[in-house]
Chain A
């Protein structure tokens, strides 16, 4: 027993160093990617979406400090995002008037401290309990803030919200933020710093105890930790990073309304984290990118984009609770054994048939939507590659056929794809 033990403890530092090197490599790759992204997709729309994504990623990562790492399902996390944003906007206005000196690049920190202050306030009692009670309190706090936004309309600006102007603040090192690209680099910088800090947090003593309290709060108490205190620390950290995201939102959009801290925003971040996969650090990153992309793309094409996001969420909850990151991680063994290539063909076949089924289903939903809402007076609608007449039978039959045939095809080929997966994984 002692001989293998000795070799093991000798081997460990080497393994640890390799893991560390891989992480540093990943971090550098992420930094480079963030730097060159505006060159890769240089359009104005792309830049606007990427700015939105960066903010959403920070927000979703902060949410997952609660849900994924701490086991706290919050229905009101946008409160700390919104508060951070409002405070940042007011401070930006003061800086613009010259009441105080604060350049734009430091403003997200102000948002973070605002989020932190309110997380300390509300977290002090809401983290006393876990589970359903915590969720209910978070909902109550969200409602409380929604009501407050109507009462304190000097701070929240009532229906119109409050506007601000990032170009009036004093400069730091001559950095101007008049163009979207400049804002992009500011968001990218804070995204990198915040993601790194949140990753580091998960690898601190209290970060690990957050996992322990999530798994088994009772046992955590019997190894010396107050479950309340552990949840409280995570909650405050999550509020801080949500506030940073809110501060970036204020800089990027120069307007905040009560909607930004409402239940819809809180629900959105839950969807992002869940679709991406709450069990993995990268999960919320993937989820926030996809959610934001779909949100901005789909809303250009269809009035039902929320329905599609909802369906995506349902499918995730029902069939892939580990999220997209979980699916990727399942393929890690095949990737390491260099056999992932054998999956390409079976996956492409099943994927193509799945796409046919999805096109059919979307077609039917869009037809239904057109007939139900009766967009304009026209009798035709552009859908996918073609123009169709929703009030005739043919398109309905066509899309139904696509949906059914695609689904049957998937049923037929999916077992083969699964078998191929089992083959390369074993």
Chain B
């Protein structure tokens, strides 16, 4: 662990038209920790992800990844600086095989850039890494199937696989367990634990048992503002959080 924050947001704001969605978020996320980002629907969690990863430009404020200002960079430039994300709605290369999906996610990180002088089948490092990730995802048996025909749970696993395949140090997962059964959720959480070991993880999640089980720290976002950022125990005890979010009886403990 270093004392440099993996991600640092300083008074980040975002409006769509006249509607403010993110209303001044300042947040520092320590490297090597697992962070959960929670909050009611419409709080701006996914928008915050989209700002950090460069999908949307910020209206104002600065964003740093591992000390470097990435506020005005494109998604691919930010990705090249060691930050990868998954999507809430599955976002994969549907017509390509499962293996090709993973391999594409490895290429840039392995240094192949826009090469048309390497034969991809001969790129051992890339192929071995892709096979390893496939094994981790438990998708080796589905290796040559087009990603579009995978089951929902398999596609969600592939979504995570594409995110982690490049070996990024900072991983953002947007509702990785959405729409999953209990046992599927447990499998995915075990997978996330395994593949993000030693990395910085930021995860949007609605399943509170998952959040309190997995996260080192929890940030609570309500109406575009972070109202608390603390350890799970203190978040549980926080009166403002209870009122704004957990006050709804849904069996938190």
Binding site for B on A (CB under 8 A): 1, 4-5, 8-9, 16, 200-201, 203-209, 211-212, 214-216, 218-226, 229-230, 233, 237
Contacts and interface: CB of A to CB of B under 8 A. Distances in A.
B217 to A, nearest CB: 25
A224 B116 contact: no
A226 B74 CA distance: 9
20 contacts: A1-B138, A4-B140, A201-B116, A203-B121, A204-B116, A204-B120, A205-B112, A205-B118, A209-B107, A211-B93, A216-B94, A218-B55, A218-B91, A219-B93, A222-B75, A222-B76, A222-B85, A223-B165, A224-B80, A224-B166
A194 B74 CA distance: 35
Contact of A215 (B95, B105, B114, B120): B95
Contacts of B16: none
A8 B119 CA distance: 22
Nearest to A234: B116
Given A8-B140, A211-B100, A226-B76, A205 B107 contact: yes
B135 A5 contact: yes
A6 to B, nearest CB: 10
A208 B100 contact: yes
B96 interface: yes
Interface string B185-220: 000000000000000000000000000000000000
B76 A224 contact: yes
A225 B119 contact: no
B123 A205 contact: yes
B52 to A, nearest CB: 12
Interface string B163-179: 00110000000000000
B96 A224 contact: no
A50 to B, nearest CB: 30
A214 B94 CA distance: 10
Given A206-B116, A209-B114, 5 more contacts: A206-B114, A216-B93, A223-B84, A223-B108, A224-B76
A212 B76 CA distance: 14
A13 to B, nearest CB: 11
> Which of A207, A224, A237 has the most chain B CB atoms inside 10 A of its CB?
A224
B115 interface: yes
B166 A223 contact: yes
A206 B135 CA distance: 25
A203 B122 CA distance: 10
B162 interface: yes
B104 A223 contact: yes
Interface of B: 53, 55, 74-76, 79-80, 84-85, 87, 91-96, 100, 103-105, 107-109, 112-121, 123, 131, 135, 138, 140, 162, 165-166
Contacts of A224: 76, 79-80, 107-109, 166
Nearest to B81: A224
Contacts of A226: 74, 76
A211 B92 CA distance: 12
Contacts of B166: 223-224
A29 B241 CA distance: 71
Contacts of A203: 119-121
B74 A5 contact: no
A221 B87 CA distance: 13
A220 B104 contact: yes
A212 B96 contact: yes
A16 B123 CA distance: 13
A4 B134 CA distance: 13
Contact of A204 (B79, B80, B117, B162): B117
Contact of B76 (A16, A204, A225, A237): A225
Contacts of B165: 223
A215 B95 CA distance: 7
Given A211-B100, A229-B114, A219 B162 contact: yes
A212 B116 CA distance: 15
B85 to A, nearest CB: 6
Given A221-B79, A222-B85, A224-B166, A211 B96 contact: yes
A207 B116 contact: yes
A246 B113 CA distance: 30
A24 to B, nearest CB: 13
Contacts of B120: 203-205, 207-208
B171 to A, nearest CB: 12
Contacts of A216: 91-94
A388 to B, nearest CB: 49
